[in-house]
């Protein structure tokens, strides 16, 4: 049963935000403002079409209004910038005018029941800089390597016949292995518990998009509340304090919040925020990476010698894999589709790269959707729907950073990790996770699709805006030890 307090905590944001939506004043376009499209449905505006397929909706709006326009979405007026040459105006604007924290605090309260504090972002960045970069990243990389190997080899090593092909669903396999290895590296060392927690995480993950938009029906909302209580129990401060093997990053964040006077139940809820933020996208990304590699075997040629004992792959080694780096970046270009949103804290003028200026009102929002504006732009990335593992490599093997549109160099040519002050602080750890997973699969296993000619799945459009996309169906593959 759900306690009354947990119900209240979970649904307060739902009521508060929607009350705020309804009190938003009606808006008409003023001289100097971007074209305004409120849609036909009062208050809701275009939100139904936007949720159904964000890319197609923005494409339609751009054809109708140009590369800057304001639309009404569930009571909010959001100005989208579709001109990649003008992204700097968004990324570099001061927090006094454009701030991501207000939007983020609404989201984490609605989805995770966590009430954000003003110090959250700075505290998380400080902890991440200590433990997810430099020497701290070395420690995390080694922990992840050990846990990946243990999980990947556990089933095949316990089998009486190690050379027999094992058949599984590819998305389920990749997500399971990478999520659990990440969880074990951050929070726990109990392999059996990680399996049960993964199952519950997937249930919550599937509810996430509609939960974020506040459109879950009552039965599903009750399910989400029960799942939240499950995670608050597993990741409670008291339980984590009783473990002597949680990562320094998690311990540091927990200790920092405790010292700042944050209540214990809120710290517990923040632990689930961190779990989702750190592991919610790497599993799906590992699926796409492995699938693209199987579809392009020329990209899998490697100097890695198959078989052998457990290996120790250091952070330094992971920094010397240019082909794999390019393959990872290309995978994220094709499948990472975050919506970058800022709250407008004061009336401001948005200055475009070509000299145009637009007045933006306080209380509105400004947003980028890099997936459509740059990552799938055929002028910036020719043949954008195709996976080209060497797209981000120069002929001499160095990293390619020169991409152009209309003859002008594009600074922001892919943005899977966000931008500016809100850029994902764990991006280096996440990239290492993907590379380690692919490296170990190539090292230890032969693997192939059951149907080599099966087409790559379409993406689940409902997840636009929330990081890495997920497939609309799974594929069967098989694998076995190389020796």
Annotated binding site: 110, 281, 365, 424
- Helix%, strand%, coil% for the chain, nearest 5: 50, 15, 35
- Binding residues for heme, as ranges, are 424
User: Distance (Å, rounded) from C-alpha 473 to C-alpha 276?
Assistant: 22
User: Distance (Å, rounded) from C-alpha 334 to C-alpha 313?
Assistant: 27
Contacts of residue 321, Cβ cutoff 8 Å, sequence gap at least 6: 435, 439
Q: To the nearest 10°, report the CA torsion of 207, 209, 213, 214.
A: 0
Q: CB 95: neighbour CB atoms within 10 A?
A: 14
State how far Cα 248 lies from the chain centre: 22
Contacts of residue 215, Cβ cutoff 8 Å, sequence gap at least 6: 51
- The DSSP H or E segment spanning 368 is strand 365-368
> Buried (b) or exposed (e) across 23-48, using 16+ Cβ within 10 A?
eeeeeeeeeebbebbbbeeebbbbbe
- Binding residues for substrate, as ranges, are 110, 281, 365
**Sheet order of strands, 166-169 included:** 166-169, 476-481, 445-449
């Amino acid at each position: 049963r759900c306690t009354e307090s947990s119900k209240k905590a979970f649904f307060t944001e739902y009521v508060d935000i929607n009350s705020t939506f309804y009190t938003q004043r009606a808006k008409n376009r003023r001289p100097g403002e971007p074209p305004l499209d409120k849609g036909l449905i009062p208050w809701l505006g275009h939100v139904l079409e936007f949720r159904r397929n964000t890319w197609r909706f923005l494409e339609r709006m751009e054809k109708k209004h140009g590369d800057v326009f304001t639309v009404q979405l569930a009571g909010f007026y959001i100005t989208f910038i579709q001109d990649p040459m003008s992204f700097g105006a968004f990324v570099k604007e001061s927090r006094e005018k454009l701030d991501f924290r207000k939007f983020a605090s609404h989201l984490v309260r609605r989805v995770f029941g966590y009430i954000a504090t003003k110090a959250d972002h700075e505290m998380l960045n400080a902890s991440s800089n200590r433990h997810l970069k430099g020497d701290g990243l070395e420690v995390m990389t080694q922990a992840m390597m050990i846990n990946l190997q243990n999980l990947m080899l556990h089933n095949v090593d316990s089998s009486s016949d190690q050379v027999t092909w094992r058949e599984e669903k590819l998305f389920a396999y990749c997500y399971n292995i990478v999520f659990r290895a990440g969880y074990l590296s951050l929070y726990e060392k109990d392999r059996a518990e990680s399996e049960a927690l993964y199952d519950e995480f997937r249930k919550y993950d599937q509810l996430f998009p509609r939960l974020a938009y506040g459109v879950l029906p009552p039965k599903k909302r009750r399910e989400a509340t029960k799942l939240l209580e499950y995670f608050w129990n597993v990741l409670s401060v008291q339980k984590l304090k009783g473990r002597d093997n949680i990562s320094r990053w998690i311990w540091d964040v927990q200790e920092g919040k405790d010292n700042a006077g944050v209540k214990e139940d809120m710290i517990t809820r923040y632990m689930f925020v961190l779990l989702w933020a750190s592991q919610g996208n790497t599993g799906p990304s590992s699926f796409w990476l492995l699938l693209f590699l199987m579809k392009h075997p020329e990209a899998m040629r490697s100097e890695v010698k198959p078989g052998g004992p457990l290996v120790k792959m250091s952070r330094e080694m992971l920094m010397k894999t240019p082909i794999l780096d390019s393959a990872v970046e290309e995978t994220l270009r094709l499948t990472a589709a975050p919506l970058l949103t800022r709250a407008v804290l004061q009336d401001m003028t948005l200055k475009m790269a070509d000299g145009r200026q637009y007045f933006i009102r306080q209380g509105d929002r400004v947003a980028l959707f890099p997936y459509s504006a740059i990552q799938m732009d055929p002028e910036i990335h020719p043949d954008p729907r195709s996976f080209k593992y060497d797209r981000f490599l120069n002929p001499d093997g160095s990293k390619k950073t020169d991409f152009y549109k209309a003859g002008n160099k594009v600074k922001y040519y892919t943005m899977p990790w966000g931008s500016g002050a809100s850029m994902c602080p764990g991006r280096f750890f996440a990239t290492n996770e993907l590379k380690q997973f692919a490296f170990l699969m190539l090292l230890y296993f032969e693997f192939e699709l059951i149907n080599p000619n099966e087409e790559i799945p379409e993406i689940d459009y409902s997840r636009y805006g929330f990081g890495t996309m997920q497939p609309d169906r799974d594929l069967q593959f098989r694998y076995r030890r190389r020796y």
